[in-house]
Amino acid sequence: MNAKSKWLSVLDVVSIAGFVAAASMVFFYAPMERVMGLVQKVFYFHVATAWIGMLSFFVAMVAGIIYLATHRTRPDAMKWDIVAVAGVEIGLVFTLICIVTGSIWARPIWNSWWTWDPRLTTVTIMELAYAAYLMLRAGIEEPERRARFGAVYSIIAFISVPLTFFSIRIWRTIHPVVIGGSDPSASGAFDMTPRMLQTFFTSLVAFSFLYGSLLWHRIRMGQLAAKVEQLKLRLSE
Amino acid sequence: MKALSNFWRAMLAIVWKDLATEWRSRELISAMLVFALLVIFIFNFALELTPQTRNDVTSGVLWVTLTFAGTLGLNRSMAVEKDRGCLDGLLLAPVDRTAIYFGKTLANFIFMLLVAAIILPFYSVLYNTNLFVGGLLLVIVLGAWGYVSIGTLLASMAVQARTRDILLPILLFPVTVPLVVAAVKASSGYLKLLDQVEITPWLSLLIVFDLIFTAIAFLVFDSVVEE
């Protein structure tokens, strides 16, 4: 049961190939943006990581809901808790990458690493909410209760995700909205040429494969950890 | 119909229990009040609240004071239930679990409004301004409800964890920051006598958060207290 699945190996290879393809398209295929120059190339991975972060938190919330709905009736509901933790951990990492790449871009374009813009603020709140999720779990020893509270908090914390997503569309902000409508007050917005669009979608797809592979690995790790825990219990009996 | 009246009776009984114990000990409300006043004093020196800067920061100071004092109250209100097994007794009672949730929330809500009712005149006297603006009172009611509705749920999770003393603020603040921001913006709008048009979006955001928080807490409270 615990041997690495053949399909997971295939997925690993596909995501590495996709990542290499996306990176080379970013550097050699996509044209240089006229005003911003080289630093604009951060955009392709910045948006892709933001998308993966939010998707991952969504996965965690759905897993949490399924856990809460099934844990009373089904003994194997714990697997959904493993999925939820995997989702939150990966989402945290990708959101952090998104914030860091955004900062790298903002330094030359907005002339500052950080501004208290609605988008930047809401994304940080989101990151902190999910960091709190991990701290909540760390404070509870009993696995069943940890899973239950984790599921509840993954639902509550998810409120911050749509808030982050729509923040640039609701409030006046200097964060550019490249996809779907542009706000004149945003600074650093641009229109994508076809080549840019192709590069953008390639990196979205590449990151999605990477995400699938990471999620699968993390879930597998969670299952193995649960098994180790059981073996330890059996030894101590 | 009978189920509904049972629900109300159970809820009001819990509110009554909390208010009665508080009336006899006056532990919680006095701690919250002293704490709130200390926060205002610290702000006074930290921000140099001169008449010019005061207008800009009053609503911020007010909400930070209220939310910090509120955290104190939320933690305490659940900790006393946990300490001597009172929560188990409550859960054994043959009533709807959500009645317990709404009872606790309503009691916390009353405590928070009591604190607000005392610090508002106090602040008005100290800084020679009038905070009794109808709009501001509405914002406090809406903001306090949103804060305690999600806070009661999170507090009932936090008290069951090993790190319970430090956990509640960490769980509560990231979730309630948007609510507090909306409350601060709406309050300062009313205090600066801005047009209603500019305040309405923040007010609607407050109401939306109140509804979302209450609905989520209503749905998941059962899973938090089950044993």
Closest residue, chain B, to A124 (C-alpha): B174
Determine contact, residues A59/A155, Cβ cutoff 8 Å.
no
Tokens of A101: 């790449």
User: What distance in Å separates the CA atoms of residue A204 and residue B114, rounded to the nearest whole number?
Assistant: 52
Per-residue pLDDT at A182: 52
Q: From the candidates B164, B223, B227, which should be mutated to test the interface with A, based on the most A CB atoms within 10 A?
A: B223
Residues in B closer than 8 angstroms to A153, CB to CB, are 154, 157, 171
Digit-coded pLDDT (tens) for B172-195: 999 999 999 999 999 999 988 888
Per-residue pLDDT at A117: 87
CB-based contact A145 B160, cutoff 8 Å: yes
User: What distance in Å separates the CA atoms of residue A198 and residue A196, rounded to the nearest whole number?
Assistant: 5
Q: From the candidates B97, B163, B177, B200, which should be mutated to test the interface with A, based on the most A CB atoms within 10 A?
A: B177
DSSP string, A56-119: HHHHHHHHHHHHHHHTTT-GGGHHHHHHHHHHHHHHHHHHHHHHHHHHHHHHHHTSSS----HH
User: What distance in Å separates the CA atoms of residue B59 and residue B129, rounded to the nearest whole number?
Assistant: 12
Count CB pairs under 8 A between chains A and B.
69
- Work out the average pLDDT over B146-153: 95
Tokens of A116: 């208290």
- Work out the average pLDDT over B131-151: 93
Taking each helix axis from N to C end, the angle separating B51-83 and B97-127, rounded to the nearest 10 degrees, works out to: 150
Closest residue, chain A, to B209 (C-alpha): A159
CB-based contact B178 A155, cutoff 8 Å: no
Length of chain A: 237
Point out the residue among B154, B163, B223 whose CB comes nearest to the CB of A139.
B163
Residue A169 C-beta-side C-alpha neighbours within 13 Å: 9
Closest residue, chain A, to B177 (C-alpha): A125
User: What distance in Å separates the CA atoms of residue A16 and residue A29, rounded to the nearest whole number?
Assistant: 19
Residues in A closer than 8 angstroms to B161, CB to CB, are 136, 139-140, 149
Residues in B closer than 8 angstroms to A68, CB to CB, are 220, 223
Sign of the dihedral defined by the CA atoms of residues B81, B174, B176, B185, in that order: positive
Closest residue, chain B, to A155 (C-alpha): B216
Q: Is A181 helix (H, G, I), strand (E, B) or coil?
A: coil
**Residue % of chain B over a pLDDT of 90:** 51
ipTM: 0.89
Measured at the alpha carbon of residue A169, what is the angle toward residues A166 and A173, in degrees to the nearest 5?
110
Measured at the alpha carbon of residue A234, what is the angle toward residues A232 and A237, in degrees to the nearest 5?
110
User: What distance in Å separates the CA atoms of residue B178 and residue B174, rounded to the nearest whole number?
Assistant: 8
CB-based contact B167 A149, cutoff 8 Å: no
Q: Is B163 helix (H, G, I), strand (E, B) or coil?
A: coil
Residues in B closer than 8 angstroms to A126, CB to CB, are 174
Smallest Cα distance from A1 to chain B, Å: 32
Q: Is A37 helix (H, G, I), strand (E, B) or coil?
A: strand
Q: Considering only residues 142 to 171 of chain A, which have any Cβ-Cβ distance to chain B shorter than 8 Å?
A: 145, 148-149, 151-153, 155-157, 159-160, 163
Q: Which conformational region is residue A41 in: left (phi greater than 0), alpha (psi within -120 to 50 degrees), or beta? A: alpha
Chain B touched by A134 (CB under 8 Å): no
Q: Report the run of H or E that residue A41 belongs to, with start and end.
A: none
Residues in A closer than 8 angstroms to B226, CB to CB, are 148
| Angstrom distances, CA of residue A199 to CA of A47, A194, A205, A209, B128 | 12, 9, 10, 15, 61
Residues in A closer than 8 angstroms to B164, CB to CB, are 139
Q: Which residues contact B77 (CB under 8 A, 6 or more apart)?
A: B18, B28, B104, B107, B108, B111, B152, B155
Higher-scoring residue by pLDDT: B51, A159: A159
Per-residue pLDDT at B129: 82
Task: List, run by run, the mean pLDDT of 10-residue segments along chain A (237 residues).
Answer: 82 94 91 83 92 96 95 88 96 96 91 89 94 94 92 95 86 74 61 85 94 95 91 88
Point out the residue among A129, A149, A151 whose CB comes nearest to the CB of B174.
A129
User: What distance in Å separates the CA atoms of residue A144 and residue A75, rounded to the nearest whole number?
Assistant: 11
| Angstrom distances, CA of residue A58 to CA of A46, A64, B76, B85, B205 | 19, 10, 33, 36, 22
User: Of B13-22, B41-50, B143-152, which gets the smallest average pLDDT?
Assistant: B41-50
Average pLDDT of chain B? 89
CB-based contact B177 A136, cutoff 8 Å: no
User: What distance in Å separates the CA atoms of residue B79 and residue B108, rounded to the nearest whole number?
Assistant: 13
